[in-house]
Amino acid sequence: MLRATPFPVILLNADQQLTAWNAPARDLFTLNDDTQPNLTALPGGEHLSRWLTGTQDTLEWAPSEDRRYRPYVTPVGEADPPQGWVIFLRDTTEIQHLVRSQAEYIRLISHDLRTPLTSVVGFASMLQQLLTGDDQARPRYFLNKILSGLNVLTGLLENIQDAGRFDPETGFYDMSRTLCDPGEIVQRIIKNYPMPADKPDLQVKVTVDEDVPVFAADTNMLERAVSNLFDNAVKYTPNGSAIDVRVQRFGDEVIIAVRDSGYGITPEDQQRLFQRHTRIARQEFKKIKGTGLGLFIVRSVARHHGGRAWVESEPGQGSCFYLALPVVTRPTRQD
């Protein structure tokens, strides 16, 4: 079975020493049948060893610039720690090329749509300023509906673009850390957020702890993450209920927490919430519009910064979404 497998397969003992492998693995790692090296001694092996402990930070393993694999790890035996591991490496290079091509195509289409959309929004806003008379209430009403729809379309295009360029696996965004104030960013975004007309009594509380530091982050990415966190809370919080936003420092991290008063989320659904295009299939959520990209963008931003994103929730008790970023004080540019 080992010889018949077309993808690289290696067997390790409890000390992470190679004990067996097939021909594709021999070619990939340039193995010699007379030796049994340790996994960490192989090219890219130190990174690959993280899959044994579950501490990997990506889904893909790239031993070189032109090859990508997705590791599948199976422990040997039922003991803890295991007696060894079997690592199966599925070649995903061609798939990644297709995904990148698709992402680039979507980026170009989204960019081309943004230009005429911006013009339409601009002219509609100018027309809105001209319709001020009492006898123009009806045209003004319909124009407001048009602008509302245009704002939704603009937000949709922004999320499609962000999901493609921020994706840690296939994205093409050049991250640049500059000093910024996370408390000011959160307060500004919430202040300027266009609250929906059907939720006039939504209560929003923002708390920024005094010890929250200025730190180095990509301001554009942080703003998009905060916007999506707050937008998600507004969508799922009924009118008259409350949203609580807090920015705090905890150890060496800045944590942004957005707590809603929505329906809550089951543990099963929480596991996949941050995946691309994921929406919960529940009756009460059917009328809520969305693309399932917002939380994927939040987690992508977290990973680019070496941070994390997660949710705490119980059905019927609302949810609290967290974005935690490490406190970095030195501006850098990632090319």
| pLDDT tens column, 180-233 | 999 999 999 999 998 888 899 999 999 999 999 999 999 999 999 999 999 999
In this structure, which topology does domain 178-326 adopt according to CATH? Answer: Heat Shock Protein 90 (3.30.565)
Question: What residue segments make up the domains of the chain, in order of their start?
Answer: 9-91, 95-166, 178-326
Strands 203-208 and 242-250, bridge-based pairing: parallel
pLDDT at 335: 44
Burial-class residue 36 by CB neighbours within 10 Å (0-12, 13-18, 19+).
middle
CA angle 273, 279, 281 (to 5 degrees): 115
How far is it, in rounded angstroms, from Cα 265 to Cα 318? 8
Burial-class residue 38 by CB neighbours within 10 Å (0-12, 13-18, 19+).
middle
**What is the CATH architecture of 9-91?**
2-Layer Sandwich (3.30)
CA angle 61, 67, 69 (to 5 degrees): 35
In this structure, which topology does domain 95-166 adopt according to CATH? Answer: Helix Hairpins (1.10.287)
How far is it, in rounded angstroms, from Cα 331 to Cα 214? 11
From first to last of its 335 residues, the chain has per-residue pLDDT tens of: 666 778 899 999 999 999 989 999 888 888 887 788 888 888 888 888 888 877 675 667 888 777 888 888 888 888 788 889 999 998 888 877 787 777 777 777 877 888 888 899 888 888 888 888 888 888 888 998 898 888 888 888 888 888 888 887 777 788 899 999 999 999 999 999 988 888 999 999 999 999 999 999 999 999 999 999 999 999 999 999 999 999 999 999 999 999 999 889 888 888 788 988 777 766 666 677 777 889 999 999 999 999 999 999 988 889 999 999 999 988 876 54
